[in-house]
Structure 1
Amino acid sequence: MATATCTAFHGVLEGTGERVGQRALLERVGFLAQLSRELTGVLVAARWGEDSLDVLSAGLDERGEGLPSKGWMAMRRLNWPQTLTPPAGVYVPDRVRRGAEEYAARTLRLALHRRSIVAAVLAAWPADPSRRTDAEWTALRALLPAQVSGAEIRNRTRQIRRFMAGHGRLPAGLCALEGPPQVAPQVLLAAMDRQQVTLARVDAATARLRVRLPLRAAPATGRDWAWHVIDIRLPGTIAPDALLHTPTLRPTPSGRIAVDLPHSRPAPATRASGHQVALGFDWGVNTLLTGVLGRLTGRGPTRRVVTDGRPLIFDATVISAALHRLRGVREHLAVKRERCQALADGLGSPHLAWGEHLDRAQMLEAGHRRVCARIRRLNTALAWAAARWAVDQAVALGASVIYLEDLATLEARGHRKANARLSGQVRGTVAEAMRHLAAKAQIAVVTVPARGTSKLCPGCLGNLTHHPAPDRLAERGWKWAHCAGCHLSMDRDHAAARRIISRGLLAQAHTTTERATGARSIRTTVEGTVALVRRPKKATRHLRRLRRAETAPPRPRGPKATPGKGHPTPSRPSGTRHRGARRGDGQPAPGSHTSRRMPDVRTVPATAPASGAVQRPAGHDTTTPAVFGPVPGHGVPAPHRIEEDPLRSGRMRLSHRTCRRRTRAAERTGFHHLHATEVHPLTPRFGPPDGDRRRPRRARKAWNPQAHTEF
């Protein structure tokens, strides 16, 4: 099951065929959403009390029968909507009331989880709320429901402490601690039947929605309600064989109609245990996900986890930096907006500057909404990209399960900057997206306890000490981990990923499945070491040649029998295998072969005219005799390639053929492999356009008097 958000742009009146534009359709959907919001708010406020929440928590009606799962049916079984009356003079169909009752029932049922946490914290209220003892934590954990994080406990504790500071006593429960929840303007069409809404699929990319909408803000009779036919363009994420369900309509602040369309596809069930190959991922700050592949070997007490040691990294540094910058802009706009609003409230309406401050506050509020929308879009894109990458890695490596850190127990501590960046990440969205995508590939996603994964060594379970990374020795040692026992040295997130996969594979027999959501988790910690098994080395060309030589039959000794070759290759003289033999003056010896390999010592002297206009390049030595002959890879021409410039007698002109390295940067600067020779004074390749039309065109364009010097 997944939900795709589509957009409705226009509609058609079913009876008359009149086209309804986007603006008119947005107004009519807004009328229905506002009416549903008012009805839901009245019903939630009327039933916001400990007695009503006790009845919903018990799940029994007045006759002792179980309440149905549908919210609107449970509300009517309890006779709670009797107090729900629409505004005077407004006609509301029964299906619209049913949608409001469903929305109210869902809101009240969501409050039951918060109520259980508050009740447990109040029952085990410590002597010092700022610091609980081990005994107090044990008593609190025994009263709390399953999968409650430490962050939720601290938030509820702070909320109760603020209440005590203001009232001088403990609150009686959640209803005394909080007011009625706020509801959003939206229409739950899933609670309505065919008398109010129908949905049909036209083709693979289009769905047709028929819904009765009010023609005015306060419809007085049934004639003020009309059927509207809305064609919805389906995104590519909805498969052609997916089953569409009744959507939810809501107007957006940007002036569009959002259609939250649920769709489902049959997926095979994944197994909870019995996995042999798995992927383990660790959460990070810049590196959002760091994973490692593990395999379970052995049986019984000899079981162990082996890995190839290769890290899998999803680096989101660029997106994290953009999100961090946008969060700073959002906070800045919020501060300026509150300041302008405070100035406007302090001056009052008669003051001349009141309207100016109010307009500025509204402008800042619009900018704040745009930045928030940008952050949400980036977070969603980042979450789904990370989830898709993780599932693709699991499919490619043949893993049947993915182990993640338990998000409920992961908390950001330490520096403020790291706290903000870690808390701003969308880890929950990544986990949900990963579960959704992995279900299609028949891969299970299981969470393991996160406490202590970065503390112990995955190889010997010794304490890890933090050192500066090898490539960042000047920074603090937070990212790199080192073990003094087994001398393990690696990235901290990589070591934590090994611990995570060890906890998952060794404790997979303790996997539990949540009945409501189907999420799997492991709450039992089983420690074990992770052995490193090197991957087989890839067969290189040299290794393949050696293997062929071992398997091939021995060749007969003697000269190589090559067609057209009448005699064997003569051996070289002693000492001339790697370079040509030279005489004492530096010239090649007669009969020796010129080597193509660069000589050990190469000295090219820089000779200049008598005027001294040319400086000697740094590093050249004039005391060592010059080495004659071409220098590989440079622009010094060979003796048979010397070309005389007819316009500059006695000087040599370099050509395209003599220089093998030509770059645009060298052409811009003018220093294009400038080398001096002993015989010919040097002429720069690029110079001013002095009438030499045979020079390259780009050389004339690249001339800059400040960057070039004519010799």
Structure 2
Amino acid sequence: MATATCTAFRAVLEDGGLRVGQRVLHERVGFLSVLCRDLTAELVAARWDETSLDALAAGVDERGEPLPSKGWMAVRRLGWNAPGPAPAPAPAPAGCAGAGRMAGVYVSDRVRRAGEEQAARTLRLALHRRVVVVALLATWPADPCRRTQAEWAALRAELPAGVSGAEIRNRTRQIRNFACAHQGRLPSGLCELEDPPAVAALVLLAAMDRQQTTCERLDAAGARLRVKLPLCAAPRSRGDWAWHVIDLHLPATVEPDAVLHAPALRATPTGRIAVDLPHSRPVATAPATGHTVAVGFDWGVNTLLTGAVGRLAGRGETARVVTDGRPLIFDATAISAQLHRLRTHREHLAAKRDHYMALAAGLGAPHRTWGRLLDRAAVLEREHVRVCARIRHLNDALAWAAARWAVDQAAALGASVIYLEDLATLQARGRRRGNARLSGQVRGTVAEAMRHLAAKRGIAVVTVPARGTSARCPRCLGTLGHHPAPDRLGERGWKWAHCPGCGLSLDRDHAAARRIVSRGLLAQAHTITECATGTRTIRTTVDGTVTVVRRPKKTTRRLRRARRAATLPARPPGPKTTPGKARPTPARPTPARRSPTSHRTPDVRTVPATTPTRAVKRPAGHDTQTPAPISGRGSGHGVPAPPWPEPPPARTGRLSRETCRRRTHAVERTGFHHAHATEVHPLTPRFGPHGSSPRPRRARKA
């Protein structure tokens, strides 16, 4: 199942057919989302305690029966229903919520279901964090920054399977900060360590039935959504609700045969209605094991993805991984720099907004500049929201472009599985700029998009341990030295990898990609599939060497003659004669003067350093620069025309654009004008189980 975000382009009232404008529709969807958010916030705040989380974690109700999978049904089975009618002098109408902010507001039972469903999902997500926090508190060490081997063993015994080192590190920092703020006292649990989580303004239509919403498909590019929306912010009766018919434009990612499910509604800050529409279509499940050809990708800071193709050769103890040595690169340096500039601009806007708000709070309302400061803060807030939306859209577009490129590479190379580094083990260490770039990358979105696109083509996506992939040599498993460049091996750096043992020298990310594909192919028997999400991962590290399979050398004329002479019978000694010839063919006359031929490039000093007329001097080895013709108008000094002819007219702009388009054909495949990626073409069409076909070669020039 996947989710596509589409927008509404037309809405009408079902009673009377009155058309509803975009602004009014956005306002009414906002009313409904705020009502659902308030219901969810009240329920989460009321049940944010250890006793309620214990009851939810037990998975059974008071009678000992298991809780249903639907969140709103589980909440009602436990007796955590949304607050009922509040006591009032006059009887409240049926369906009125009467506690807190919802006092006197009429909402139907279906709207309550949506709020209870979102609250149940929020509390269930907190259960995993609670288990990690309880395990850390039970095995809290004397020095949380440096645990001993025994302390690590005790912690791993308490934690559930699959908890990463990054999650342990982050929760440890959170508990340590709490202890520092409370004079060394540790929290009693998650509910004391954290405040109730914030709830988004979202309407989960999946928790409602046909009496509140329906969704049907019209054609391949359109769908129709019927939903009952409030006509005001605080509806008092059933008459304040009305049916709205909303027509949706389906994006191209939704296939014509996909089945649509109940969506979720959101009112965006830009004044549009976002409809998160889940859709599903049956696809064949990719196998978890039995892979022979794979592609491994390594994450980078500027080079977002660096890949290598590998083939498993041999079986059992003789199994080894071979590669063709060709790197696959998705370089997003320019987009990363743009994102970093946008983040810096966002932080600057937030700092100025907070400064104006602090000044206004210090001056107070009677001051004459109080309103002016608040107006400036409001302008900065709107600009801050716009920049945040720009960053989100650019991140999303970059993630999907990288995922499409990776899946296309795997399909073209005949790979049946893609191996990635485990995202949870990555952490930025060092300068602030590197931390910002690494934390700002949307690796999770790239991985999810890659899983979605690979499932359509029957390709599996598996994560492997990332620890040590850049530290060892893929050829001999020796310790790698990291240097700035291949010609600066005496300096310490991070870009280039050199092995002093076997002499391997290549890009660090490319070496890590080889190690990743080797770990995946050699340890594919240890693949674990999560039942809830279907995510596949390998937690067992199996290291092996990677051998580069070089293509055979091209046969030359000398080699072909030697092979032909070895197969043919030996010729008798004497001059070579042809039947019918009385005498041998005379040799060609040698010219008097023959210029020596050489295949080496001529030295730059052989090029004259001046023009034939000796009018312009230039450095040796550089072409003559033809100056532009001097027109009579504007010179005013009587300078004669130059003796050389005028240069030919420049080409038109259209031809120049076509030339640039041909040169950046590989770039435009990624969807960005400034992203450089390896072209998708099957250089190794049968680099699979047999691998007998040689790599195709480029055709000779005529």
Normalization by structure 2: what TM-score? 0.81
539 and 258 in structure 1: CA distance in 2 versus 1, 3 angstrom threshold: farther
Correspondence for 1:58? 58
Q: Secondary structure at the match of 1:203?
A: coil
Q: Which amino acid aligns with 2:256?
A: P
- Give 2:682's aligned residue: none
Aligned match of 2:2: 2
Task: Mark the CA change 1:365 to 1:308 in structure 2 (over 3 Å): closer, same or farther.
Answer: same
Supply the AA of the counterpart residue of 1:413: R
Matched, 1:113 2:116: no
Equivalent residue for 1:278?
294
Q: After superposition, what is the alpha-carbon deviation per residue over 1:505-532, rounded to whole angstroms, capped at 9, x for unaligned? A: 1111111001110001111111111112
Q: Which ranges of structure 2 fall in alignment gaps of 5 or more residues?
A: 86-96, 571-575, 631-640, 651-702
Identity %: 69
Aligned to 1:74: 74
Report the alpha carbon displacement of residue 89 of structure 1 after superposing the two structures with TM: 3.4
1:2-151 matches, within 5 Å, as 2-81=2-81, 83-85=83-85, 86=97, 87-151=102-166
Whether the 8 Å contact between 1:39 and 1:84 is mirrored in structure 2 is no
Letter in 1 for 2:626: A
Alignment partner of 1:493 out of 493, 509, 518: 509
Deviation for aligned residue 1:467:
2.5
Name 1:391's counterpart in structure 2: 407
Tell me the residue number matched to 1:591. Answer: none
Give the C-alpha shift of residue 51 in structure 1.
0.8
Q: 2:628 aligns with which of 663, 668, 674?
A: 668
2:589 aligned residue? 572
Shift of 1:79: 1.6
Q: Is the 8 A contact 2:609 2:619 kept in 1?
A: no
Conserved? CA contact 2:298–2:516, under 8 Å: yes
The residue number in structure 1 matching 2:548 is 532
Change (3 A) 1:480 1:598: closer
- Deviation by residue 1:479-500 (Cα, 9 ceiling, x = unmatched): 1111111111111111111111
Q: 1:298 to 1:607 in 2, by over 3 A?
A: closer
The residue that corresponds to 1:191 in the other structure is: 207
Q: Does 1:161 align with 2:176?
A: yes
Evaluate the alpha carbon distance shift between residue 600 and residue 325 of structure 1 in structure 2; reply closer, same or farther with a 3 A threshold: closer
- 1:504 aligns with 520
Cα separation, 1, equivalents of 2:353 and 2:604? 71
1:450 is aligned to 2:466: yes
Tell me the residue number matched to 2:280. 264
Deviations 1:64-110 (A, max 9, x none): 00000000111111121063551343221111111111111111111
Distance 2:526 2:327 in 1: 27
Please say if residues 136 and 172 of structure 2, whose CA atoms lie closer than 8 Å, have aligned partners that are also in contact.
Answer: yes
SS at match of 2:628: helix
Kindly indicate whether structure 1 or structure 2 has the higher relative contact order, using CA contacts under 8 Å at least 6 residues apart.
Answer: 2
Write the letter of the residue equivalent to 2:45. A
Matched position secondary structure for 1:48: coil
Q: How far is 1:162 from its partner?
A: 2.5
Q: Indicate if the aligned counterparts of 2:43 and 2:82 stay in contact, CA closer than 8 A.
A: no
Rate the CA distance shift 1:322–1:474 in 2: closer, same or farther, 3 A.
farther
- Aligned residue identity for 1:33: S
Q: 1:357 aligns with which of 347, 363, 373?
A: 373
Alignment map for 1:556-705 (pairs within 5 Å): 571-573=588-590, 576-578=593-595, 614=615, 666-668=626-628, 684-685=643-644
Question: Is 1:367 aligned to residue 383 of structure 2?
Answer: yes
Does the 8 Å CA contact 1:121/1:140 hold for their aligned counterparts? yes
Moved more, 544-553 or 168-177: 544-553
Q: TM-score scaled by structure 1?
A: 0.80
Question: How large is the RMSD of aligned CA atoms in angstroms?
Answer: 3.6
Answer yes or no: is 1:152 the counterpart of 2:167.
yes
Question: Residues of 1 paired with 2:336 and 2:151: CA distance?
Answer: 38
Show structure 1 runs of 4+ deviating over 6 A.
471-475, 538-554, 597-609, 615-620, 695-698
**What residue identity is the alignment partner of 1:106?**
R
Q: Is the 8 A contact 1:282 1:497 kept in 2?
A: yes
1: CA distance, partners of 2:604 / 2:365: 88
Q: 1:173–1:683: structure 2 CA closer, same or farther, 3 Å change rule?
A: closer
SS at match of 2:218: strand
- Aligned-residue offset at 1:578: 4.3
Asked whether 1:293 is paired with 2:252, we answer no
Q: What's 2:538 paired with?
A: 522
- 1:164 CA displacement: 2.0
SS in 1 for 2:119: helix
Distance 2:473 2:500 in 1: 10
Q: In 2, distance between residues paired with 1:604 and 1:315? A: 42
Aligned-pair CA distance for 1:170? 1.4
- Please list, as runs of the form range in 1=range in 2, the aligned pairs for 1:381-420 lying within 5 A after superposition: 381-420=397-436
- Inter-partner Cα distance in structure 1 for 2:363 and 2:431: 40
Question: Structure 1 residues 443, 605: closer, same or farther in 2, change over 3 A?
Answer: closer
How far the C-alpha of 1:247 sits from its partner, in A, is 0.5
Shift of the 539–415 alpha-carbon distance from structure 1 to 2, 3 Å rule, reads farther
Matched, 1:302 2:261: no
Does the CA contact (< 8 Å) of 1:455 and 1:464 recur in 2? yes
1:390 to partner: Cα distance: 0.8
Which of 265, 270, 274 in structure 2 is aligned with 1:249? 265
Give the structure 2 partner of residue 205 of structure 1: 221
2 CA distance for matches of 1:526 and 1:160?
Answer: 34
CA contact (8 A) 2:3 2:278 kept: yes
1:535 Cα shift?
2.7
Query: Structure 2 vs 1, CA of residues 263 and 617 (structure 1 numbering), >3 Å: closer, same or farther?
Result: closer
